[in-house]
């Protein structure tokens, strides 16, 4: 592991976050921004793990799904090592597994599948909800002054839903692999309000960190159609219920023109703080 005294400055742009350094066969190392909440953002590790897996597949293969377990919180003062296992290479699909590690052990396990583009039926049934434009939604004050911008609708008790526009702040160019990693980065966001809205403790948004312990537990994403991660895209989350300090959230992701870009499912930890 790299000596902490030799580490470069914390990255502050998405291109810097996603720029992994090769450390031997099928192994890459990435860095983390310094987040105000004290640990690594989960979407960052998912995006970096997907980026590492993309380094091992031919360019005609594109991600169509990923499944990740968040094993332990990451330390932003340490580099993260991504080890890729080439599980299968087929004519139409290939599969990879990635383990993200720090000195304390594994922090994330991700499996992802890639497919060659096929000229088959393209039918969309999901419909984007009618929502205000991004500039007409509230801007959450949550420690994202860089990398990612968010505009969210107000959530009311019992709503079980959360909706908001998200985009990456930095232009990404035209490389589709950067945009799909960018979507993975933004995908771990806006789901907690949907779960918290169902909780019997009606804590104000400003106090939720004092009332609850929260974390992403596992995460799945299916990529349907391309979109630019540096343009506004809409997340629509629904919490299907709370049980055992876990909330089950499912979501749809739309581009601004209403194209259904991706489907997402995540189970979140929502535990009452007990003194």
pLDDT tens digit sequence for 20-68 = 999 999 999 999 999 888 899 999 999 999 999 999 999 999 999 999 9
Q: Which of 32, 48, 162, 216 is catalytic?
A: 216
Domain total for the chain? 2
Domain boundary among the residues 85, 116, 147 is at 116
In terms of domains, do 147 and 235 share one? yes
User: What pLDDT digit, counting tens, does each position of 84-122 carry?
Assistant: 999 999 999 999 999 999 999 999 999 999 999 999 999
SS (H, E, C) 70-135: ECCCCCCCCCEEEEEEEEEECCCEEEEEEEEEECCEEEEEEEEEEEECCCCCCCCCCCCCCCCCHH
Rounded to two decimals, the pTM is: 0.92
Q: Note whether 152 and 263 are same-domain residues.
A: yes
Mean pLDDT (the chain) is 90
Q: Which of 44, 48, 188, 197 is catalytic?
A: 188
By residue range, what is the domain housing residue 188?
138-272
Q: Catalytic annotation on 55?
A: no
Known catalytic residue: 256?
Answer: no
Active-site residue, from 32, 111, 160, 266? 266
> Domain check: are 142 and 103 in the same one?
no
Shared domain check, 225 and 162: yes
150 and 264, same domain (yes or no): yes
Is the confidence at residue 82, as pLDDT, over 90?
yes
Q: Who wins on pLDDT, 208 or 263?
A: 263
**216 part of the active site:** yes
């Amino acid at each position: 592991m790299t000596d902490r005294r030799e580490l470069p400055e914390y990255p502050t742009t998405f291109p810097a976050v996603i720029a992994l350094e090769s450390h031997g066969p099928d192994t890459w190392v990435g860095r983390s921004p310094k987040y105000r909440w004290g640990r690594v953002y989960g979407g960052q590790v998912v995006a970096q793990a997907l980026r590492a897996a993309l380094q091992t597949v031919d360019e005609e293969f594109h991600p169509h799904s990923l499944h990740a377990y968040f094993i332990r919180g990451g330390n932003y003062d340490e580099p993260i090592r991504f080890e890729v296992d080439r599980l299968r290479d087929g004519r139409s699909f290939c599969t990879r597994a990635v383990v993200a590690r720090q000195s304390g052990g594994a922090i994330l396990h991700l499996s992802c599948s890639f497919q060659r583009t096929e000229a088959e039926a393209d039918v969309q049934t999901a419909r984007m909800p009618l929502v205000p434009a991004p500039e007409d939604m509230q801007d959450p004050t949550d420690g994202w002054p860089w990398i990612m911008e968010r505009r969210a609708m107000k959530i009311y008790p019992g709503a079980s839903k959360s909706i908001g526009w998200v985009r990456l702040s930095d232009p990404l160019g035209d490389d589709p692999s950067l945009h799909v990693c960018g979507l993975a980065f933004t995908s771990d966001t806006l789901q907690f309000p949907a779960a918290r809205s169902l909780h019997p403790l009606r804590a104000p948004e400003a106090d939720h960190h004092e009332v609850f312990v929260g974390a992403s537990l596992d995460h799945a994403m299916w990529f349907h159609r391309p979109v630019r991660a540096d343009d506004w895209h809409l997340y629509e989350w629904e919490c299907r219920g709370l049980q055992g300090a876990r909330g089950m959230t499912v979501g749809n992701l739309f581009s601004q023109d209403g194209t259904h870009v991706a489907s997402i499912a995540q189970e979140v930890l929502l535990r009452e703080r007990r003194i």
